[in-house]
Structure 1
Amino acid sequence: MRSFFGAVLVAACGLGAGAVLAQTATPPAQTQTCRVCHGLDGTGTNPMIPNIGGQSEEYLSKQLQDFRAGRREDPQMSIIARDLTDEDIKALSAWFASITATYALPQ
């Protein structure tokens, strides 16, 4: 009896893992450029670079649109954003917004 339930449990876990892997998103191609400074998870690679993982999609989209339009300026971001299409901005914003950011309060 135990081996039957063990087999069912292993099978269920395997199916669950397959479902999770099937739902894993593939990052947009443009994240190759983003990850140099923001990492694939949206965590800035140094203290002067903001963490964008887990930000709202609307916020990220607005910032990229503002960089592209020249309403917001940064030596690197202004250059990068000017070549982004509306579809690129939507895909990047959705990707980084889909990241779950966790925070720890000070002890």
Structure 2
Amino acid sequence: MLKCQVCHGKDGLAKLPDAPNIAGQKETYLVKALRAFKAGERKNEQMTIVIKGLSDEDIANVAAYYSSIKITVQVPP
């Protein structure tokens, strides 16, 4: 999870301009996306490096963690 936090933050809010915010994202989407990176179906150099070391259980845990983060959206005045 520490590797994920470098780009996506512990709070799921991107720390780098090219990284997406993943806080509150649907768990099923995150699992599918992470598996696609691992299988080489999605391409991103950094994600490919990070995902290599993750087991299916790790992927499930990462997805569960980031999807559980509650986000609030504020409508501009």
Q: State the TM-score, normalizing by the size of structure 1.
A: 0.68
Calculate percent identity across the aligned residue pairs: 45
Structure with higher RCO (Cα < 8 A, 6+ apart): 2
Please tell me the residue identity of whatever aligns with 1:98: S
- State the Cα distance separating 1:97 from its structure 2 match: 0.5
RMSD: 0.9
1-structure distance, mates of 2:17, 2:34: 20
Equivalent residue pairs, number? 77
Gaps of 5+ in 2: none
8 Å Cα contact 1:68-1:83 kept in structure 2 = no
Which of these two proteins has the greater Rg computed from alpha carbons? 1
Q: State the TM-score, normalizing by the size of structure 2.
A: 0.93
* Greater fraction of residues in helix: 1
Gaps of 5+ in 1: 1-30
